[in-house]
Amino acid sequence: MAEKPLREWTKGVLTPIARLISRTGVSPNLLTVVGFLATLGVAYVLALGHQRVAGLLMVPVGLLDAIDGAVARTMSRATRFGAFLDSTLDRFAEIALYLGLLYLYRGTTVETVLIYLTITGSLMVSYTRARAEGLDVECKVGLFGRFERLGVLVLGLVLERTVIALIILAIFSNLTALQRMWHVRKVTMELGEKGDQ
């Protein structure tokens, strides 16, 4: 996935900003909530039919979403609840974006089905990782993590090729979930587990 190298690349940009924000004493969790609310605003713009504007807005909102973790680390206030809150609101934010699309394409069967499949794939990608890590199996493999999904959506919106983006997302999000299922099976088999539950 491209998320890890991107995080390394943006670290030099985010760290000075995080240090500046940390001086204000703003809570990292508050930044997480603000980023979520900003995404709700983008979803509303999307529902109104302004696809290109929504796509462009998703870029600074995405950076805002990355700031909270950097601020938490800078302030030495990274907590398990903060990580949980961030991950949970990320899921709600992604669902909100597709709800905006669902409203925009209401009454059109093909787009509605694609959005449904995309949401399903997105949630299953997150669930398979969470469930695997609950079993002490690291599971960050796969083609389409959150960064890749949002990247494809942004490009689709900005280029006004949203349906093409949805086709790609519907296919590869679900494939990623299947990749993670296969990965967990492989790892557990290597650890000596056999048979079906």
Is residue 111 scored above 70 in pLDDT? yes
Residue 125 resides in a domain: yes
Confidence of residue 64 (pLDDT cuts 50, 70, 90): confident
Buried b (16+ CB within 10 A) or exposed e, 104-129: bbeeeeebeebbebbbebbebbbebb
Is 114 a domain residue? yes
The pLDDT of 52-75, averaged and rounded, is 88
What 158-162 contacts at long range (C-beta under 8 Å, 24+ apart), as own/partner pairs, is: 158/52, 158/55, 158/56, 160/51, 160/52, 162/51, 162/101
195 part of a folded domain: no
pLDDT at 29 over 70: yes
Residue 197 counted as domain residue: no
In tens, the pLDDT along 95-106 reads: 999 999 999 999
| Per-residue model confidence (pLDDT) at position 38 | 96
Q: Which residues are catalytic?
A: 90
**Selected residue with higher pLDDT from 62 and 18:** 62
- Distance CA(31)–CA(50), nearest Å, equals 26
Q: Which domain holds residue 22?
A: 3-190
Residues in the chain: 197
Structural domain tally of the chain?
Answer: 1
**Could you tell me the CATH number of the domain that includes residue 43?**
1.20.120.1760
- Whether residue 8 is predicted with pLDDT greater than 70 in this model: the reply is no
> Is residue 11 included in any domain, yes or no?
yes
The HSE-up count of residue 135 (CA atoms within 13 Å, CB side) is 15
Q: Which pair of tokens denotes residue 21?
A: 């924000």
Q: Look at residue 196 and tell me if it is in a domain.
A: no
